[in-house]
Amino acid sequence: MTLTDWIYIFCTLCLAITALVAPYISELIKRKKFAPKLKIVLQKEYPYIGEPSGDNLYAIFFGVKNEGNSKAKNCKIVIEKFHFKNKQGDLIENNRDFPAALLCTVGSKDYRGPVDILPKTNEFFHVFSITTSTQPEYQDKLLFFMNMERIVPSSRGHEILVPLNYIKIKIVIYSENAKKCEQYIEIESPGIKRDNKEQILQEMQIKLS
């Protein structure tokens, strides 16, 4: 075979390979460009902080932003880890009640989801409420009231109550077509009842880690 023949064979192989691979490369680029991209946000301002009715002083929400260019499908929000500080200031992990699915709230009703998050939009999820208690051991303390449902065993988990001194929560969002989104939220407060509700909000420190 001549050199020209070898060049012809080489070019033919290159064209064949390009024809086979090009659609896959194009599809990967398209998926990356138009893929949904989730981000968790929490700030100390409306609509992240709300004022519910009843004995609750504040409702705490975190926002999920879809910064991508397509809908994030079937998003399920799970609290995978939960830490709090006891009376002695020791950091305790609650392994009994977690992981737990976060209940989505619409008006006064909760539902299990999953939810779709449209591109370039925010969805807000109620994670817990700051409340008060008549129990003697919590008489001068602020508590928080979880908005979740246990995964194992499956049951309502609203009864989780601990002082608001220090809380660390790991939130994970699973989606059918978006990359898993993980975020730790730390909330620190003196955890003391105040006559002025705004003082409670001013004293509360929120940190994403």
CA 104 to CA 102: how far, in whole Å? 6
Considering 14-23, 63-72, 156-165, the range whose residues carry the highest mean pLDDT is: 63-72
- pLDDT at 28 (0 to 100): 46
Domain locations in the chain as residue ranges: 1-34, 36-208
- pLDDT at 172 (0 to 100): 94
Return mean pLDDT, the chain: 79
Query: Scanning the structure block, which residue is given the tokens 């399920």?
Result: 76
CA-nearest of 137, 201, 198, 185 to 163 is: 137
- pLDDT at 22 (0 to 100): 46
CA 84 to CA 105: how far, in whole Å? 24
CA 95 to CA 77: how far, in whole Å? 18
pTM for the predicted model, two decimal places: 0.76
| CATH class in words for 36-208 | mainly beta
